[in-house]
């Protein structure tokens, strides 16, 4: 199964494409969609939307997984990220794909085995699971790969199969 993981943001939207089969996964592609900081916000959303459409067409994923939003201290930033996440979801929907959402704690649990793992622990385990010599940059791409791994583990679990 080819899985596209997405870490949404309006400055940087990370993505990672993995191939997962029989409990093994390998990285096919990763990177980030970026937008300039001084640009009009609606223009930034347009860039994210158009680039996501191109990515979906090129990557041809079987499944898409995206991180759910976590509103911390800065609600204003959270609103912008929510809008970016919305245009990403629209592009996915228009591509005819279903999307699965995961909370940060679910990603940590699936990748590390501990829901309160640190960012470094998640990145280290992601690197190990994929047999990478170094963690991909930027961090948003690394996070997106972890989201894809989370989906690979969640979607192939016995509980997920029973629910289908």
Task: Decide: 24 and 60 in contact? Cβ < 8 Å.
Answer: no
Burial of residue 127 (CB within 10 Å: 0-12, 13-18, 19+) is middle
Which one of 21, 62, 98, 140 is the catalytic residue? 140
Annotated catalytic residue 7: yes
Report H helices in the chain.
Answer: 41-59, 75-94, 104-112, 119-130, 139-155, 158-163
Burial of residue 71 (CB within 10 Å: 0-12, 13-18, 19+) is exposed
Angle between helices 41-59 and 75-94 (to 10 degrees): 40
**134: three-class secondary structure by DSSP:** coil
Which one of 7, 19, 40, 54 is the catalytic residue? 7
Which one of 67, 68, 124, 139 is the catalytic residue? 67
Annotated catalytic residue 67: yes
Antiparallel, parallel or unpaired: β 99-102 and 2-7? unpaired
Annotated catalytic residue 140: yes
Cite the active site residues. 7, 67, 140
């Amino acid at each position: 199964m080819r899985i596209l993981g997405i870490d949404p943001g309006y400055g940087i939207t990370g993505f990672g494409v993995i191939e997962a089969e029989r409990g093994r996964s390998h990285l096919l592609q990763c990177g980030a969609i970026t937008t300039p900081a001084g640009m009009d916000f609606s223009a930034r959303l347009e860039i994210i939307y158009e680039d996501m459409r191109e990515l979906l067409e090129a990557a041809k994923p079987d499944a898409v997984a995206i991180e759910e939003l976590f509103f911390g201290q800065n609600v204003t930033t959270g609103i912008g990220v929510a809008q970016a996440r919305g245009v990403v979801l629209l592009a996915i929907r228009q591509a005819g794909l279903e999307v699965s959402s995961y909370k940060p704690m679910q990603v940590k649990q699936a990748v590390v085995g501990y829901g309160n793992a640190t960012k470094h622990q998640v990145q280290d385990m992601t690197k190990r699971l994929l047999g990478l010599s170094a963690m991909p940059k930027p961090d948003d791409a690394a996070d997106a790969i972890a989201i894809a791994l989370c989906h690979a583990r969640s979607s192939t679990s016995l509980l997920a199969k029973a629910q289908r």
